[in-house]
Structure 1
Amino acid sequence: MLDVFLMLVAMAAQGAGEARSSSMAEVAAEPAPVTESAAPTEQAAAQAAPQPAPQPAPEVPSGKFTTAQEVRPILGMTKANWIAVREYDGQDIVYFTQLLSWRCGLNAIRYSFNDGPIQVYPLPPCHDDTASPNALIDDEAMPIMGLAPGSVQKVYVEIFYDDMTTDSASFERKAVLMP
């Protein structure tokens, strides 16, 4: 997660347009999430050590849909299906399966529910050493669960492509509610 945070800070510092730079500044202001598995000394060392600024990924089409150049047209055409909401077992469940299916051309996904605080959705790794790098293996595409039934009325999603461009969409519950 630290690498995503640093990438977003670099995008803000590079000033990639007035509208985007204000959005990137908000991202840069968010602290990196702390994982329970990291020891405090490791966290301090990671914060103290200078990290190279992330750069846009090389946009050389591979035919495996691992670059922004390859996945942007698909995600643009399927924007209405980026997320889905389902009522199941007494809770609202939010799925990001469409975005995760093309995640290898993305650096980050951020979202919020009902105009609440922006959160970062953790992207599973790409499987570059396989024939299908975007494949979701085992429980990699876990939905967001445990939300009160009927509580998700609006979802805002922002995606960050690996070429440092962004796209976003807002979804009303009735437009993305699964039967």
Structure 2
Amino acid sequence: MRKSLSLAAVLGLVALPALAQPMTTAPEIRPILEATQSSWVALREYEGQDLLYFTHLLAWRCGLSEIRYGLNDAPPETVFAMEPCHLDTAQPNAITGADIYLIESLGSVQSVSVEIIYDDGAVARMDYVRKAILMP
């Protein structure tokens, strides 16, 4: 009896692995995207072009219904295409080959406005100047 109680006590102190919970709805991803607004987009000068990356938003796209953007003081009306969520996999937010950036002429992107629409209809917007999102 004493052995079984000791074993039970030891087993009770051993942490069991937690199952990962997919973050696929607006209430789950909103706090993350609110905390990381400065990282929604990034700009890179590469091989004579401006590459505007949407990677961060795409990594949290499950929970979003749309990403819109506007360049150089244009309102965010252009839709950035997102691949669907892979809800039948262990990594529903995995990026499996869809475009993750726009290609523009070198130096042409001076500002970017980004609007995200969550799957619950809520909208958030951020405006960036080139210097704030330009990668070294």
**TM class by smaller structure:** 0.7 to 0.9
Alignment length (residue pairs) = 116
Q: Does 1:110 align with 2:68?
A: yes
Aligned-partner SS, 1:116:
coil
Distance apart, 1:123 and its partner CA: 1.2
Is the Cα contact below 8 Å between 1:100 and 1:141 reproduced in 2? no
Equivalent position of 2:95 in the other structure: 136
Equivalent position of 1:171 in the other structure: 128
Which runs of 5 or more residues in structure 1 are unaligned?
Answer: 1-61
Once the two structures are superposed, the pairs formed by residues 27-176 of structure 1 within 5 Å of their partners are 63-116=21-74, 118-137=77-96, 139-145=97-103, 147-176=104-133
Which runs of 5 or more residues in structure 2 are unaligned?
Answer: 1-19
User: RMSD between aligned alpha carbons?
Assistant: 1.2
TM-score by length of 1: 0.63
Distance apart, 1:115 and its partner CA: 1.4
1:96-126: per-residue Cα shift (whole Å, max 9, x none)? 0000000000000000000125210011110
CA distance in 2, matches of 1:90, 1:119: 24
TM-score by length of 2: 0.82
1:3-60: per-residue Cα shift (whole Å, max 9, x none)? xxxxxxxxxxxxxxxxxxxxxxxxxxxxxxxxxxxxxxxxxxxxxxxxxxxxxxxxxx
Distance apart, 1:148 and its partner CA: 1.2
Is the Cα contact below 8 Å between 1:97 and 1:141 reproduced in 2? no
CA distance in 1, matches of 2:106, 2:99: 21
Highest Rg: 1 or 2? 2
CA distance in 1, matches of 2:31, 2:21: 14
Aligned-partner SS, 1:103:
coil
Q: Which moved more, 1:62-71 or 1:156-165?
A: 62-71
Q: What amino acid is the match of 2:26? A: A
Q: What amino acid is the match of 1:135? A: A
Aligned-partner SS, 2:62:
helix
Considering fraction of residues, name the structure with more helix. 1
CA distance in 2, matches of 1:123, 1:86: 20
* 4+ residue runs over 4 A deviation: none
Aligned-partner SS, 1:99:
helix
